[in-house]
Amino acid sequence: MTGKSPFEALSVETLAGRLRANGALCSQIGKDTSRWKVREVGDGNLNLVFIVEGAEGAAVVKQALPYVRLVGDSWPLPLKRSLFEYHALTRQQARAPGSVPDIYHFDEGQALIIMEYLSPHIILRRALIEGRQLPNIAKDIGLFMARTLFRGSDLSMATKDRKADLALFADNVELCDITENLVFSDPYFDAKMNRHTSPQLDGIVAELRADRDLKVEAQRMKHLFAANAETLLHGDLHSGSIMVTDTETRMIDPEFAFYGPIAFDVGMLLANFWMAFFSQRGHEQNGKRDAMRAYLLDVTVDTWSAFRAEFSHLWRTERDGMLYQKSLFEDQGDRLGAEQALDHMLHSIWTDLLGFAGVEVHRRILGLAHNADFETIADQDLRARCEAKALKFGRHLAVNRRQIHSIDEVNQLAALIERESRI
């Protein structure tokens, strides 16, 4: 199979025949296709994902489909998202070495990436649903975000290179369009593909959709997302885009990558920890998840702290881009000026991440793309109680984000809502 053949989706049956001459794959897993075992394991919303095991090893073959897998071919989606994913992965590997899977091969025509098979890693969301406490995720993800978001921006890159990347990723129009609609707008009106736990949540959903302050704030976040091309984002950094063992953390699936606000990745990620927190009640037996709830709140504190510390470190040591240039501050003996500018920047990232977190919580409960944290709670009444608390929390973050000063304050709010909320 070459990049010049017309696109054709792989299947478990055809994969070995079509990739038998692929040198990169053969060198990872062995040439003898009679020993290849192929499984399709994609459980995301968009793509095919195969694990291919051979006599000498294993690899992942990921292929984009020309439509949204979750919905079907009535919703076409361009194959070029695979190109953006490939370029994002190579940049993330360079900026945060060891944080993403190794790439063995990319075929643009077949929208196909062959990459490292991460084993025994599992998806972070699944681990959190199972109640597993992973000791390293906060540090690993905090570092990943700080390194990729700082080093992909005008704080670090040569502006010519950054502008070239801005142009490259600006073509990821259709995936941005998904985020623009599914995250920032659809949850706040009766959009066609929305769904929620009904009838239990009908009342609270109607209230949120009539909430003028919330709608205005969600549109302000959308405006920021669309107009603040600050850095190369992962673009979809939720707990389903992270694979873990007890000691290792890898980020996957950056097909939504584009230039946007630093706070977007951080807010989306923290929102997923807070949703994991509110969903624990649906997964516990005999009150056994108290420690897990405490762990999840600690993870938010530690992630934000690791992000801040590393971002500040990079600010002081690698600020070689055209923004806040050293020639204006350190080179003039004005180290305090550089610290003042850093404080401003961290403060706006903080305020904005709360807004992004609030809308991310809402869209996972009110929109098209729900998450397994809540969806796997079989008892609908119990699920609705967990979701209602998260909705209330998300509304508070989005609307009051400028009045919230610390992550401890956010976590006290989460704990209060968890204890007191009733629907």
Q: Which does 178 bind (CB under 5 to 8 A by kind): ligand SR1, Mg ion, none?
A: ligand SR1
Residue with tokens 């927190």: 277
Residue closer to Mg ion, measured from CB, 186 or 253: 253
**In Å, what is the CA distance from 265 to each residue of 9, 47, 56, 129, 295?**
30, 21, 37, 21, 21
CB of 171 to ligand SR1, least distance (A): 18
Which range binds ligand SR1 by CB under 6 A, 16-24, 176-184, 205-213, 317-325? 176-184
Residue 173 touches which of Mg ion, ligand SR1, none (CB < 5 to 8 A by kind)?
none
258: three-class secondary structure by DSSP: strand
Q: How many residues sit close enough to Mg ion to count as binding (CB under 5 A)?
A: 2
User: In angstroms, what is the minimal distance from the CB of 260 to ligand SR1?
Assistant: 14
Neighbours of 165 (CB within 10 A): 20
Question: Where are the alpha helices (H) located in 232-289, listed in sequence order?
Answer: 262-279
Interface residue with ligand SR1, options 59, 68, 137, 157 (CB under 6 A): 68
Number of amino acids touching ligand SR1 (CB under 6 A): 10
Amino acid at 27: S
Taking phi over 0 as left and psi of -120 to 50 as alpha, with beta for the rest, 116 belongs to beta
The closest alpha carbon to 300, from 239, 230, 258, 248, belongs to 239
Interface stretch with Mg ion, choices 41-49, 161-169, 280-288, 353-361 (CB under 5 A): 41-49
Considering the complex, what minimum distance in angstroms separates the CB of residue 264 from ligand SR1?
12
Query: Mask 357-386, x = binds ligand SR1 (CB under 6 A)?
Result: ------------x-----------------
Identity of the residue, 182 or 297, whose beta carbon is nearer to ligand SR1 in the bound complex: 182
At residue 212's C-alpha, the angle toward residues 188 and 394, to 5°, is 60
- Residues near 329 by Cβ (< 8 Å), separated by ≥ 6? 335, 337, 338, 341
Residue in 178, 345, 353, 399 binding ligand SR1, rule: CB under 6 A: 178
Q: Tell me the residue type at 29.
A: I
Position among 28, 44, 86, 353 found at the interface with Mg ion (CB under 5 A): 44
Residue 165 contact among ligand SR1, Mg ion, none, beta carbon within 5 to 8 Å by kind: none
Q: How far is CA 21 from CA 52, 125, 286, 398, in A?
A: 14, 36, 55, 52
By the rule CB under 6 A, 236 interacts with ligand SR1: yes
Task: State the Cα–Cα distance between residues 251 and 29, nearest whole angstrom.
Answer: 23
Interatomic CA distance for residues 212 and 214, integer angstroms: 5
Q: Which of residues 242-261 bind Mg ion (CB under 5 A)?
A: 253
| Distance of alpha carbon 376 from the chain centroid | 20
Q: Does 268 bind ligand SR1 (CB under 6 A)?
A: no
| Prior bond of 135 cis (ω within 30°) | no
Using rule CB under 6 A, residue 182 touches ligand SR1? yes
Q: Taking a C-beta distance cutoff of 8 angstroms, is the pair 14, 36 a contact?
A: no
The one segment of 43-51, 145-153, 190-198, 398-406 that binds Mg ion by CB under 5 A: 43-51
Binding partner at 10 among Mg ion, ligand SR1, none, C-beta below 5 to 8 Å by kind: none
Q: How far is CA 411 from the centre of its chain?
A: 21
For residues 27 to 66, the per-residue mask of contacts with ligand SR1, x marking binding by CB under 6 A and - elsewhere, is -----------------xxx--------------------
Which stretch in 175-183, 275-283, 297-305, 333-341 sits in contact with ligand SR1 by CB under 6 A? 175-183
Q: Assign 72 to helix, strand or coil.
A: strand
Q: Which two tokens stand for residue 237?
A: 């950094």
Q: Does 88 bind ligand SR1 (CB under 6 A)?
A: no
Q: Report the C-alpha gap between 270 and 265 in whole angstroms.
A: 9
- Of 157 and 233, CB closest to Mg ion: 233
Q: Among residues 197 and 371, whose Cβ is nearest to Mg ion?
A: 371
Q: Which does 182 bind (CB under 5 to 8 A by kind): Mg ion, ligand SR1, none?
A: ligand SR1
Interaction site with ligand SR1 (CB under 6 A)? 44-46, 68, 70, 178-179, 182, 236, 369
